[in-house]
A and B are shown apart, each in its own frame.
Chain A
Amino acid sequence: MHISVNGEQHEFNEVEVSISRLLEIRQVESPEMVAVQINGEFVEMQNYPNTYLKSGDDIEFLYFMGGGSQ
């Protein structure tokens, strides 16, 4: 399976990769600081375990970034 994560190409041998699994594989330390979209569509956090990726999917991890004033 071939997917793109934040513009980088990934090849997976595993047949079933969920968003939860992908967050592990990518070693995202605080998943609550990331918003996930697949092919431009927002994915609810409670759906991460049962949302499986398809070959050709375009995944974006959007990081929450505060900062600015202080």
Chain B
Amino acid sequence: MIDFTEEQLERYSRHILLDDVGVEGQEKLLQAKVLIVGAGGLGSPAALYLAAAGVGTIGIVDSDVVEISNLQRQIAHFSKDIHFAKVESAAEKMKAINPDITVKTHRECLRAENISGIIKDYDFIIDGTDNFPTKFLVNDACVFLGIPFSHGGILRFNGQTMTVIPYRTACYRCSFRNPPPPDAVPSCAQAGVLGAVAGMLGTIQAAETLKYITGVGELLTNSLLTFDAKTMIFRKIKLNRQANCPVCGTDPQITELVDTEKTVCGLS
């Protein structure tokens, strides 16, 4: 049992007031370790909210530096941060919001050979990456290690997210199988994205993380939440774990992590 200081009781009072969270829930948050993959459009709001919420240890992975075109939506980064490492920029804001927490920066690309070592000590992972090879790599590594995670994607005015509890609920590959061919993929860099859509989705991922840690409510498992900010229609599509899933199915074809082409680095 943590002895909360006066300052902590005040800082987290609006959580503690919630019947479902309380002192016990806040204690779980302070003891939790969450890794955010990507300090961009989704990772920024997620990182700030998790820091503010008092998630005790937050890791953040990204190899990039801040560019001016990021600032339209990647709200952890300010104009003064241009050319600086995104992980350092994000960590600075997180510590400024809440000096109570530990931020671990991983300024590197996730690849088949380093991902397990980076993610293994975390309780929950937020996927805020910008490319499909890394999304599938995060899925597979989390499934192999049994680490729950939140998938997130955005494009133009749309967002989608699902929470995965490996071997218990549908994983990303259960529904999406394989990365689409690279030439078919419009990225945010090519197709554009409404800045606030990144905030909406990253914030939903942060809420799922807090729910998972505190055990409150029902997670977005076995369902894909999609929304269209043009109409503000939100849909929750039912998903099932698939027995023939190549990674979490009964006879998996994927049994080790491999890099598909263009994994992570230098995609802009």
Contact = CB atoms under 8 A, between A and B. Distances in A.
B47 interface: no
A69 B184 contact: no
Interface string B172-183: 001111001100
Interface string B235-264: 101111010100000000000000000000
Contacts of A60: 237
A42 B177 CA distance: 9
Contact of A70 (B130, B160, B239, B244): B130
B166 interface: no
Interface string A37-56: 10011101000000000000
A37 to B, nearest CB: 7
A69 B176 contact: no
A66 B187 contact: yes
Chain A contact-residue range equals 20 to 34
A6 B237 CA distance: 8
Contact of B175 (A7, A35, A66, A67): A35
B189 interface: yes
Contact of A69 (B39, B174, B177, B181): B39
Contacts of A68: 38, 40-43, 127-130, 152-154, 188, 198
Contacts of A6: 235, 237
Contacts of A63: 155, 158, 160, 226
Interface of A: 6-7, 30, 32-33, 35, 37, 40-42, 44, 60, 62-70
Interface of B: 38-43, 62, 64, 70, 127-132, 135, 152-155, 158-160, 174-177, 180-181, 184-189, 193, 198, 224, 226, 235, 237-240, 242, 244, 267-268
Given A67-B42, A67-B187, A69-B40, 4 more contacts: A65-B154, A68-B127, A69-B130, A70-B40
